[in-house]
Structure 1
């Protein structure tokens, strides 16, 4: 019995890096595609059961390739893998109706488990009409816990505000206003909930995001600084050095798994 086909669109910049695709070769006939323009042709020829799009740091053309594929083949489940850890990218992916979004590194076992959850809801071979296959989504673990107290709710609103606006100029009174609090009440509430002042929380959040962006070899230090809301590059470099013990340039140059897990001071 022949194996079902899987289209693996390898749209990484560094295709020499390891990929979990090899773990699927016992379950599928894997057809690897590296040119964006060749993806539709391969789908038409192979009639795959599903497709995986693998990125390291996706750019606009490579993301447009995924979106156009989903638009042209709406019933084809798409799994997206990327090194770029970004809430905005994840939101875009799910709005584009990808079946799952995974941030690398992903082990062969993790990838197989995700696909195994999808297989039972896919149409069997020989069906004339394919329905859009989407497994029943898991309820997030945090949603299974009772509602927090009012102070934590307000602090979480502020954390969500930071998540969506950290790249902008954030004024304390605007964040407090989004929680329907005055500045003094908000400051006390936030510190009670997180054990940090809001300014300290924001600084740490921005630096964590900057570490993720510095892993992208195409992004300059000044671009990273602006992307995380610290448009003064000198201030960004000085703050990064104070918290990390090295400059952003040194962090990028000496990046290792040990460095990327170094905690902020």
Structure 2
């Protein structure tokens, strides 16, 4: 059995949206679970080098699953990804000694670099990043107030997320998306920035680059076609955005997958 490098625990409440799991290096050995009751089984069968917990709106049962992993497998570093963010939640994560705390949306290279750093460590058990926390300290760490009362109501700009996922390859006008959310453009822009920590235009660009990455992993595609396929009308602008977000040019990224296949 291959050594499991990354265990991806997908505990998002809205699973239809794109998971950050797709940002991972295809050369890594990765296993993915989406049910709390499967986590301990996976950890026991083939202990991973790193565990990534992905949340959108974490609640007490989901955060308890992360805390249990820290209690039962204290030498295994944990990376936490979350859409909902607050200072209290970040402090909670710090107290359970997660290795990294990433708030969505983030740059893909942030996640990749964090995992790569952990995998590159020769002996995680002797490294300060994975020193075992005291179980009593973990269990006494109170949950943030905002996760104690969860509402099923989606965010005001949730329809905009769904629209981007199905129309990202088309020309998208912010006025049109604002109407879908029942808001005027100004109000929509403020709500979107507050809820996503990025402007709508920035969110759209990030999503298009994400889809471009998926397409570029096919060694048979033509790089010159990708820009138009994901909604960019200017290939030069696409290349600049791709390099800014991913860290390399589309051609370099595509060439990497041509070599490994």
TM-score in terms of structure 2 length: 0.50
TM-score in terms of structure 1 length: 0.49
Higher relative contact order (CA 8 A, sep 6+): 2
Which one has a bigger Cα radius of gyration?
1
